[in-house]
Amino acid sequence: MSWAIVVPGSGRTGRDGAYRIGPRAVECVRAAARLAEARRPRVVVFTGWSPVAGGPSEADQMRAAWDGPEDVELLVEPSATITAENMSRTLPLLVERGVREVTVVCGSLHLARVRFYFGGVYPRHGIHCSYVRTRQAPTPPALGRELVAVALMRRQRRRVIAELDGLHVACQVQADAVGDAPGREMPEGA
C-alpha cells in the first residue's frame, strides 16, 4: 500500500517581523523523519503558509529543517492558512500519487482538529488515516487558540469540501458530512 506522511505547519511572527516555525513544528518534522527512517513513505508533504509577503512559508521552513532520508519525495504545499486547508490542499497531491494510507504528524493540542479534518474527509477518497502526535505544553494562549478553532471547525470543513468538489478530486464528497474522524493514533515509530 502506498503510504505518505503529512506535516501541517505552525509558526509565529517575531518582534523583527519575520515569520518562523516554532519548536512544535520542528518537533513534528523530527517525528516525521523518524517515521520515514523506520518505513519509507512514497512522499512527505509539508503544508502551511506565511502571512509575511515574500517570506518563507511554514512548509518551506519545515522542508529546510528535514533531516530524514533524502531518497524520499518531499513536497511543499505553501498556501494552506488553516488546518482545514492543510487537509484540502494536500489531498489532491496524495490522490495524484496513488497514496492509500497517510500518517499525519501534529502537536497534541492540534490532534482533535487534525482527526476531524483529515479523518473525516481522506477516507472518502480511499485514503486511510493514522496520527502521530508530538508533545505540546498546554499554554493558556495555545488552549485559547484551540477553543476558537474548535468553534469554527464545521463551517471550515464545509468550505474546503466545496473547494475540493470544485476541483473534482477523485470522488464526490458530501458537502455537509461530519464523520467520526476515522483512523487511529499510532505510537511514534510504529
CATH of the domain at 30: 3.40.50
Q: Judge whether 57 and 30 are in contact, CB under 8 Å.
A: no
pLDDT tens digits, residue range 144-168?
A: 887 877 788 888 888 888 888 877 6
Number of domains in the chain: 1
SS3 6: strand
Within 13 Å of residue 25, how many CA atoms lie on the same side as its CB? Answer: 23
Q: Please check whether residue 146 lies inside any domain of the structure.
A: yes
| Residue 44 pLDDT exceeds 90 | yes
Distance in angstroms (rounded) separating the CA atoms of residues 178 and 169: 18
Measured CA distances, 1 to 4, 57, 71, 75, 180 (Å): 10, 31, 18, 19, 23
pLDDT tens digits, residue range 106-157?
A: 999 889 999 999 999 999 999 999 999 998 777 787 778 878 777 888 888 8
The pLDDT value given to residue 138: 77
The pLDDT value given to residue 184: 55
User: Mean pLDDT in the chain?
Assistant: 87
Q: Residue for cell digits 461530519?
A: 178
Q: Of 24-28, 132-136, 170-174, give the range with the top mean pLDDT.
A: 24-28
Distance in angstroms (rounded) separating the CA atoms of residues 94 and 108: 24
The pLDDT value given to residue 33: 98
Q: Between residues 14 and 181, which one has the greater pLDDT?
A: 14
Q: Judge whether 93 and 78 are in contact, CB under 8 Å.
A: no
Q: What is the pTM of this model?
A: 0.84
Q: Please check whether residue 190 lies inside any domain of the structure.
A: no
Q: Please check whether residue 76 lies inside any domain of the structure.
A: yes
Q: Residue for cell digits 476531524?
A: 116
Q: Please check whether residue 52 lies inside any domain of the structure.
A: yes
Domain hosting residue 87, numbered range:
3-185
Cell of 16: 523583527
Q: Which residues lie below 8 Å from residue 75, measured CB to CB, with a gap of 6+?
A: 43, 44, 45, 46, 93
